[in-house]
Amino acid sequence: MSALVYVRDQLGNGCVPRFDRARRRADPRSLWYRRNEQVDAAVEAALRCTEAGLPVTVVAIGPERVDWLLKHYLAAGATAAVRVWSPDLDHVELDDSLAASLMEGVIEQLRPDWIWLGDDDHGAVAVHLAELTGRVLAISVVDVTGRGHELELDRRLDRMTERVRLTAPGIIAVKRGAALRYPSHRDRLAARQQAVTVLDAGAALDGIVHGRHPTVTAITPPKPPTTRRRELSGADDRVAELILGGTGGGHSQVVEDTVPNMARLAVATILDRVNSTTPTNPTTGDSP
Amino acid sequence: MNAGDGRIRVLIETAGGAITPLSASLLHLAADLAESRDLAVHAVMYQALSHPHDLAAAAGRYGASVVAVPETEMDAIDLTAALVSDRDQDPGLLLTSATAVGREVAARVGARLDLPVLHAATAVEWRDGRLVVSCPALDGKASARTVIDAAPTLGAVVTVAEGAFSGVEIDGRPPARIEPLHRAETDAPWCPRPHVTGRALTPVDELGLDEVDVVVAGGMGLGGPEGFSLLRELAELLGGRVGASRMVTDRGWISTDALVGQTGATVAPSLYLACGISGAPQHVIGMRDSATVIAINTDAHAAIGQVADVLFVADARKLVPAMIELIERDRSNLAGTQA
């Protein structure tokens, strides 16, 4: 029984990219990275579900820069690390389908029983991999029990939790789970000495056709929040105005009054919003 | 794509027999895109319905001309097979919501038909005859604009995140025509399915902050950890969860699980109640897509007012208990009436 975890890092919380609009990319010198919570949860789940002594390989796609991440997971308990890279990747956009194609090459070599990924909502590498490899897939996984070739998983659908049983070989994308174990100082030192195997992505890239896929034409900083402020005069009929005209209209309404009056206005507005969106059981149509 | 023979397919989801707000916003977006290009909007369901005519009427009001409904519920693999079964037809544009099913179907259809898949779009529009889609890039710190050429055919899959668009019903539009969505022979017989052993509604306290409809969040204006007891009480009454700003989690008033903002959860609930939160950009970035924002702050000019629909100028420590009392009274009156 063996496991492979596809890992990636993400931009740091306080990182503010500088944009090079002419080259349609962020200046690499302005970027710094941190671990991704979902990937951490996937690594931890893989370590827990693999019998002691059996291999858990972490695989990243990227330049030498990503070795810090692989070494961290080695320190946490992964048994081997692989980095897939080619300088040609510097000039193409690493989208989900390309990442999955590159991972497929690694999977063919290592033939793991389980493939684990972090499910951070926007990524679809797991689904592409399932399509490419024909393995059984579970995404949005929030809990994993069992060990070995058969696992029980809880996957989160829209306000529903679905329990599924998977038999290896399979692909599991973890949305939420236990925090990654904290590596000891000794393990960190040992991981520093461990080698990262570098696989050349060049051959795989040659076989991937991008002809139909669109290209990113612009990259820009996100827009600042829209101003929705509007002063409200007059004290009467505010409930109706707040409910009917205030919310979602593109302006903020400022209310100053006595606490009882404001409580009445706030509750009326809140209950109107809440009652209009009462969640229902998707299976039965019942309210919880 | 020639005028009149193209289509935009929209994967829609229902809750309690009604189209979800996110699916309604997808239909409305599709209708907007279709109008200027003389395209048809086809809604596609994967859940079976006992009253499809109600759904068809609603889908029609949002702009769909056809709604395809299966006889029995389909999973992502069935649905993919059904969507790719007519390969001889132009694939057109497929819009799905960024839910678990929507994301899986989008990626499977994209892989099967070799179409570009763009995730969590924040803007979709025509420009110079080409489809322009804006999506988050660089882990949400940038927006990337992608152009898809519409000639000779338009083929793309786009998922849309909650809160990015709004759905508007137009009265007077005819109901959508109901068509059966046939279970197609999957063209990927190698595709195994997980064995489903159970399914249950998730209790609110097990949902993540990004999954609940109501978030009651607190900041420094609560004065201390005891203020969060009030917020928990209010959140429980409203069926929501408690959130917090960075300043208060740093002080240990509440655990970091509740953190909303750049370093915590990004949420887009139906209602976000910000109590004693100043509205620092690092917090706002995590809640600005909420459908309705109600703020309580002693400062009438607090930055949270820039994103709030309503700002109550008050001390949250006084206003929240009064609100709890009113809601409890309202609930007990309702219970008394029903008894």
Distance CA B91, CA B102 (A): 17
User: ipTM higher than 0.95?
Assistant: no
Question: Does a structural domain hold residue B31?
Answer: yes
Rounded to a whole number of angstroms, the distance from the CA of A94 to the nearest CA of chain B is 12
pLDDT tens string B7-45:
899 999 887 778 888 888 899 999 999 988 888 999 999
Residue B105 lies in a domain: yes
Q: How far is it, in rounded angstroms, from Cα B299 to Cα A8? A: 42
The answer to whether the peptide bond before residue B152 is cis (omega within 30 degrees of 0) is yes
More confident residue, B338 or A12: A12
Per-residue pLDDT averaged across B97-101, rounded? 86
Question: What is the per-residue pLDDT across B157-174, written as a single tens digit (0 to 9) for each?
Answer: 999 877 677 777 777 788
Q: What are A49's two structure tokens?
A: 């579900």
In angstroms, the CA A206 to CA A88 distance is 10
**Least confident stretch, A220-234, B74-88, B173-187, B251-265:** A220-234
pLDDT digits (tens, 9 = 90+) for B206-250: 777 887 889 999 999 999 999 999 999 999 888 889 999 988 988
What's the topology of domain A3-206?
A: Rossmann fold (3.40.50)
Of residues B16, B111, B309, nearest to A128 (C-beta): B111
Q: What CATH number should be reported for the domain holding residue B30?
A: 3.40.50.620
CA nearest to A13 within chain B: B263
- Closest to A259 (Cβ–Cβ): which among B13, B108, B319? B319
Q: What is the total count of domains within chain B?
A: 2
Same domain for B14 and B78?
yes
How does pLDDT run along chain A (288 residues), one tens digit per residue? Answer: 899 999 999 888 778 888 876 767 788 888 999 999 899 999 999 999 987 778 999 999 999 999 999 999 999 999 999 999 988 888 777 888 889 989 998 999 899 999 999 998 666 899 999 999 999 999 999 999 988 899 999 998 877 888 999 999 999 999 988 889 999 999 999 999 999 999 988 765 655 444 445 555 565 655 544 433 333 333 335 554 554 444 444 457 888 888 888 888 888 888 777 665 444 443 433 433
Least confident piece of the model among B54-63, B141-150, B298-307:
B141-150
Domain that holds residue B228: 204-338
Residues B143 and B224 in one domain: no
pLDDT at B252 > cutoff 70: yes
For residue A242, list chain B residues with Cβ-Cβ distance below 8 A. Answer: 310
Whether B192 is covered by a domain: the verdict is no
CATH number for position B237: 3.40.50.1220
On whether both B209 and B170 belong to a single domain, the answer is: no
Interatomic CA distance for residues A253 and B135, integer angstroms: 31
Contacts of B284 in chain A (CB under 8 A): 225
Amino acid letter, A77: G
Alpha helix ranges (H) inside chain A: 37-49, 67-76, 96-110, 125-133, 185-193, 202-206, 238-240, 259-275
Query: Is B332 inside any structural domain?
Result: yes
* Secondary structure letter of residue B24 according to DSSP: H
Query: What pLDDT score does B163 carry?
Result: 67
Q: Determine the average pLDDT of the residues in B171-188.
A: 80
Q: Is residue B327 part of a domain?
A: yes
Measured distance CA(B225)–CA(B214) in Å, rounded: 21
> Do B288 and B326 fall into the same domain?
yes
Based on the domain organization, do B127 and B262 belong to the same domain? Answer: no
d(CA B279, CA B293): 12
- Verify cis geometry, omega within 30 degrees of 0, for the bond prior to A169: yes
One domain for residues B13 and B162: yes
Please tell me the predicted confidence (pLDDT) of residue A97.
Answer: 85
Q: Which residue has the higher pLDDT, B145 or A231?
A: B145
DSSP alpha helix (H) spans, chain B: 21-35, 52-61, 76-84, 100-113, 226-238, 246-250, 281-284, 316-338
3-state DSSP percent of chain A in helix, strand and coil, to 5: 35, 30, 35
Judge if B238 and B155 occupy the same domain.
Answer: no
The answer, as to whether pTM is greater than 0.90, is: no
In a domain, B187, yes or no: no
Does residue B194 belong to any structural domain of this protein? no
Q: What is the pLDDT of residue A272?
A: 73
Which residues in chain B (258-277) have CB-CB distances under 8 A to chain A? 262-263, 270-271, 273
Whether residue B336 has pLDDT greater than 90: no
Q: Which residue has the higher pLDDT, A53 or B114?
A: B114
| Residue B327 at interface with chain A, using a CB cutoff of 8 Å | yes
pLDDT score, position B189: 60
On whether both B11 and B111 belong to a single domain, the answer is yes
- The ranges assigned to domains in chain A are 3-206, 229-275
Q: Do residues B232 and B283 both lie within one domain?
A: yes
